[in-house]
Amino acid sequence: MSINSFENYPMSWKPDKQKLAYPVYYSLADLMEQDIKSGKLAANTKLPPQRELADFLDLNLSTITKAYKLCEMRGLIHAATGKGTYVTPYANVPTSTVEKNTEPRIELAIIHPFYESNAAIRDLTMEILKKPFSERLFEYSHPLGDRGQILAASRWLQRFGLEANEHNTMIAAGAQNALATILSSLFEAGDRIAVDTYTYPNFISLANQLYLQLVPIENDVWGMRPDQLENVCTLQKIKGVYMMPAGGNPTNIAFSDSRKREIAEIIRKQNLIAIEDDNYAALLETPYSPLALEAPEHCIYVSGLSKPLCPGIRIAYLYLPDQYINAMEQGMFSQNLKISSLNMEIAAEIIRSGLAWKIIQKKRAAAAERNQIYTSFFPTAIFAWNRIISGWNSRSI
């Protein structure tokens, strides 16, 4: 069929054949990636059938198939059985939540932590450095933490009811680093991970960098809907699920206890790798019960210290099921080579000294004070949703 016969034919994507170079399938995949990331091809757009696109471009069907497969491996598109191929949600989300702009403005892309306790942590750090042999904190020794630091980490995780010990506890250079290590160590390009419809923006960035496909799951007021998750697992090959059950960023939706049990049942049934990211759990007044308790053999629990204790030390603690320990240790060492011993020691000493609980109490009081100010104007929430004034949009706000 001549390419000219498609001149007025309605197709969701008509790449410019003049821009194709050798190898053609790779060039075609690059054109698709450009159009997706530029927004020309919107999320959930149904792409032309492969044979139709082959006819349009006067190319061999196998060339189109290879291009589609490459884009699928890059996490840009996904095939729905019996329905066609679609642009993956989040594929065109920017890889940074911070705009490179020097104009004076209020930065709303970042959730700023509490800094009031930094002086106390500074004083504790000075005491650490006065101790004998503190110079060893600047060496290459113990790349993933010494025994004392790991035991302090496991003590922190035990507060949430987890059976953490020095064998299944790991230290990462912050929660974002922990997530990067999990994704690069346990997943491969093209793998699908279920997430909340509105999920953590930096997790989207990580997935895009590693060519992982994120599959959105609807929420209700009790959290991720189990019927939707099970349905997606039935229709697509889902390898993992990412959740923030203590209060999602940016929706602030928290899973009910019954919802945790329902989701955990599906995780076990579908043999999913579950990632529970709960940076705010330690700040909750009511003791938090992790979803990981319901599926301990499948769920990696990530507890970052930036929000509850100190943003600058960049430390997170992980509780790992036995089946993931070896891969995660290798991945953590390969990506970091050496996590800062000084930072790990500061975090451990904050916990050992009892300063951690004092900081948490102060931050709870500060949060309450912030909410009093906020609720005089808006409904209360850690992450707040407010109805936009008629005639305005997010950019104008």
Domain positions in the chain are 3-87, 118-356
pLDDT at 2: 45
Spacing of C-alpha 180 from chain mean position? 8
- pTM beyond cutoff 0.85: no
Q: Which two tokens stand for residue 124?
A: 């504790």
pLDDT at 1: 43
Tell me the backbone φ, ψ of residue 275, rounded to 5 degrees.
-115, 115
Burial 106-122 (b: 16+ CB within 10 A, else e): eeeeeeebbeebeeebe
Residue 71: closest CA among 97, 53, 55: 53
Chosen CATH of 118-356 out of 3.40.640.10, 1.20.1250.20, 3.40.50.720, 3.40.50.300: 3.40.640.10
Measure the CA–CA gap between 132 and 72, rounded to whole angstroms.
55
Tell me the backbone φ, ψ of residue 85, rounded to 5 degrees.
-115, 135
Chosen CATH of 3-87 out of 1.10.10.10, 1.10.3720.10, 3.30.1510.10, 3.40.47.10: 1.10.10.10
Question: In CATH terms, are 3-87 and 118-356 the same topology?
Answer: no
Residues in Cβ contact with 282 at an 8 Å cutoff, skipping those fewer than 6 apart:
159, 288, 303, 308, 309, 360
pLDDT at 307: 87
| Cβ pair 279, 307 in contact under 8 A | yes
Tens of each residue's pLDDT in the chain, 397 residues:
444 455 666 788 989 888 988 899 999 999 999 898 888 888 888 999 999 999 989 899 999 999 998 888 888 888 877 788 988 877 766 655 455 555 556 665 566 677 778 889 999 999 999 998 898 888 888 888 899 999 999 999 999 999 999 999 999 999 999 999 999 999 998 899 999 998 988 899 899 888 898 999 999 999 999 999 999 999 889 999 999 999 888 888 889 999 999 999 999 999 999 999 988 888 888 888 999 999 999 999 999 998 899 888 899 999 999 999 999 999 998 888 788 899 999 999 999 999 999 999 998 888 888 878 877 877 655 556 666 667 776 666 6
pLDDT at 3: 46
SS3 74: coil
CA atoms within 13 A on the CB side of 279: 23
Measure the CA–CA gap between 117 and 250, rounded to whole angstroms.
25
Residue 226: closest CA among 207, 246, 243, 203: 243
Element (H, E) at 192: strand 192-196
Residue 164: closest CA among 255, 332, 299, 271: 299
Q: How far from 37 is each of 29, 48, 76, 376, CA to CA, in Å?
A: 12, 18, 9, 40
Torsion 185-188-189-195 (CA) sign: negative
Torsion 206-106-359-142 (CA) sign: positive
pLDDT at 386: 65
